[in-house]
Amino acid sequence: GSTGWSATYETALGVRLYGINSKADLLAFRSAHGGKDSEHTELIKDAEAYAASIAPYQVDGWIALNADIEAITGEEFTNSYCNFIHRLKEKFDGNGHTINLDVTGKNTATILSFFQHIDASVKNVNFAGRMEQTAKDVCVMATLAQQVSTAATVENVTSSVDITTGRKNCTIGGILAVGCIANATLKDCSYSGTIKVTDLSNGIGGIVGANTAAGSGNPSLLTIDNCVFGGKIEYTSTSHNAASRFGGIIGDQGRNCVMQNCTNSGQMVFNLDCTRIATVNTSGIGGLVGRCNATTSGYTMSTTVKDCAFTGSIVFNNASSDQPKDYIGKIIGSLMGPLYSLAYALQAMTEKDGAAPA
């Protein structure tokens, strides 16, 4: 910090440490940050008053977490989207501490994540516990956030949170749900929990569910560097629906992306009660990327996969002997659009490791 800066300050209750030192502090920071109920309540017009309100929680310009946080419940995710903080506007440093979650989404919630939007960099924070949504179709779920909404870096964020939904057409990522709408980087992040899905999906990924967030003009670039999926994705068919858009790192890739030095060492398990895995070219199960859509909204996307590895497993239980074996790859499951836009595509599309029925 600057000359003369002190790690503590005086309050009516005595001397306290700058930063977030307890769950009560985290709740107080949320209130100082602008509230929880909607984006509108977070837009504080008096910049000077806002700066003063968040100053007790900052160290060197970062909101600083100084302690592990006991379980935050679904009742404390009380806005209509079911996030703890709707839009993070300040840089956040977890200092290696863990935020515990015990959250069941509310009936009206379509988005379930700790933040909804990230407008500033986040680093060095761990998440543990559980998140579940059983009451709403077309849901969006992730540990950290729905998406990165401004140019920012998410670095050294880990999650062992178990994420579960019994609903259909959901997008789920271990760290982010739908990528970014401005150039963003995910670096040194990992997910080691279990994602359980029981119906059709719009993208299920160990790190990012679907890199499909909309942005104005030419879509932005998401860089995923040195991220690891070491957990489990488990799909259990409850109807005659195909499993589609499942990837160890990204479930559905539809915007510009560079993926490098990433590893899937986890498990992808498909418990089938039907006679098919994937029967159309919009489907895909991949060790790193489930489906890669190279052309979206009139733009040709660029996807690069470099120095990545799939060392995990893809397992199909109860598959019939005539189970189709297309659209499954240890790098990329399916590709829509021109091959030239995808580095490593040819090898990925000809290697079908793990495709044989169990």
pLDDT, position 38: 46
DSSP assignment of 211-271: E----SSS--EEEEES-EE-SEEEEE-SSS----SEESSEEEE-SEEEEES-EE-SEEEEE
pLDDT, position 14: 55
Contact between 176 and 155 (Cβ < 8 Å)? no
Contact between 141 and 148 (Cβ < 8 Å)? no
DSSP assignment of 54-73: HGGGEETTEEEB-S-EEEEE
Contact between 248 and 310 (Cβ < 8 Å)? yes
Residues of the chain falling short of pLDDT 50: 1-5, 37-43, 275-282, 338-358
Task: Tell me the pTM.
Answer: 0.86
Cα distances from 288 to residues 43, 155, 170, 225, in angstroms, run: 38, 20, 19, 13
Residue type, 356: A
pLDDT, position 125: 98
Closest Cα to residue 356, out of 316, 318, 327?
A: 316
Cβ-count burial of 4 within 10 angstroms (0-12 exposed, 13-18 middle, 19+ buried)?
A: exposed
**What is the residue whose two structure tokens read 């990204």?**
250
pLDDT, position 16: 65
Cα distances from 265 to residues 248, 312, 349, in angstroms, run: 8, 4, 20
Cβ-count burial of 187 within 10 angstroms (0-12 exposed, 13-18 middle, 19+ buried)?
A: middle
